């Protein structure tokens, strides 16, 4: 599996499934020429709060065109979503074992004003790879119709939508979450949930979450 490249959509603090795949493939392609789809991980992540799963959505500028290329999609700042996202993360994970350990690396991502969603997502991905101590071997696609040779096309497989194709090799490894006693284990949340709860052990959890056979 490691020798086989994988093609993924861009994502905002992507879920555990996404990063389980990232660490299992030496080469990762990110699609930039697809049309933006609503209600996907491209501009949202899901964390676990005191009342259950909480979606954090990055608002985007819709414009007049119905179909906008992902690489051209701009972020909207009509509301202070960055402040709201950080406050929600702080409330959910301030008591987690590794929030203090990682917050100084994560917080700057909520201070800078990004013009394009793709740029924000690429930077968050780079920071997450650094925290996981794994190579950031991302390469952007050149053409939507052309899937790189011998590459697994996973652009639509990691999605919050029920009708999406599922990653049959993904078998989420359980770990202790802040609100586990209240909700039990909630699988496939944002990678931030795993990092704040498991810290340096996050890589091992990701490694165990893909059945390579």
pLDDT one-digit tens code per residue, 47-85: 999 999 999 999 999 865 678 899 999 999 999 999 999
How, if at all, do strands 44-49 and 52-57 pair?
antiparallel
> Is the pLDDT reported for residue 39 higher than 60?
yes
Alpha carbon of 117 to those of 13, 56, 106: distances in Å?
12, 14, 17
- 175 touches 197 (CB < 8 A): yes
Torsion sign, CA atoms 177, 179, 180, 183: negative
Mean pLDDT of the chain, nearest integer? 93
Which two three-digit tokens encode residue 19?
A: 């990063």
The mean per-residue pLDDT over the stretch 6-14 comes to: 97
Selection from 41, 15, 120 nearest residue 76 by Cα: 120
Phi, psi dihedrals of residue 108, rounded to the nearest 5°:
-55, -25
Selection from 1, 4, 12 nearest residue 160 by Cα: 12
Instruction: Tell me, rounded to whole angstroms, the distance of Cα 86 from its chain centroid.
Output: 16
pLDDT tens-digit series, residues 151-184? 999 999 999 987 667 899 999 999 999 998 899 9
End-to-end CA distance of the chain: 9
pLDDT of residue 63: 67
pLDDT of residue 37: 87
In three-state secondary structure terms, 15 is strand
pLDDT tens-digit series, residues 103-141? 999 999 999 999 999 999 999 999 999 999 998 779 999
pLDDT of residue 126: 96
Alpha carbon of 121 to those of 7, 107, 143, 176, 192: distances in Å?
15, 14, 19, 27, 14
CA angle at 165 for the pair 21 and 66, rounded to the nearest 5°:
100
The full DSSP string for 64-118 is: S-SS-BGGGPBBP-SS-HHHHHHHHHHHHHTTSTTHHHHHHHHGGGGTS--SBHH
How many alpha carbons lie under 13 Å from residue 4 in its C-beta half-sphere? 11
């Amino acid at each position: 599996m490691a020798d086989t490249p994988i093609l993924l959509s861009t994502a905002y603090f992507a879920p555990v499934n996404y990063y389980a795949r990232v660490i299992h493939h030496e080469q990762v392609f990110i699609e930039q020429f697809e049309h933006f789809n609503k209600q996907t991980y491209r501009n949202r992540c899901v964390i676990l709060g005191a009342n259950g799963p909480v979606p954090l959505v990055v608002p985007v500028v819709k414009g007049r065109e119905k179909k906008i290329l992902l690489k051209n999609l701009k972020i909207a700042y009509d509301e202070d979503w960055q402040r709201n996202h950080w406050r929600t993360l702080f409330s959910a994970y301030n008591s987690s074992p590794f929030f203090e350990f990682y917050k100084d690396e994560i917080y700057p991502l909520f201070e800078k004003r990004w013009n394009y969603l793709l740029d924000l997502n690429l930077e968050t991905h780079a920071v997450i790879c650094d925290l996981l101590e794994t190579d950031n071997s991302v390469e952007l696609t050149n053409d939507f119709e052309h899937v790189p040779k011998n590459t697994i096309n996973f652009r639509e497989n990691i999605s919050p939508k029920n009708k999406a194709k599922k990653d049959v090799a993904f078998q989420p490894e359980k770990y202790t979450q802040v609100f586990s006693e209240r909700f039990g284990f909630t699988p496939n949340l944002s990678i931030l949930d795993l990092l704040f709860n498991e810290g340096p052990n996050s890589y091992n959890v990701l490694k165990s979450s893909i059945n390579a056979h």
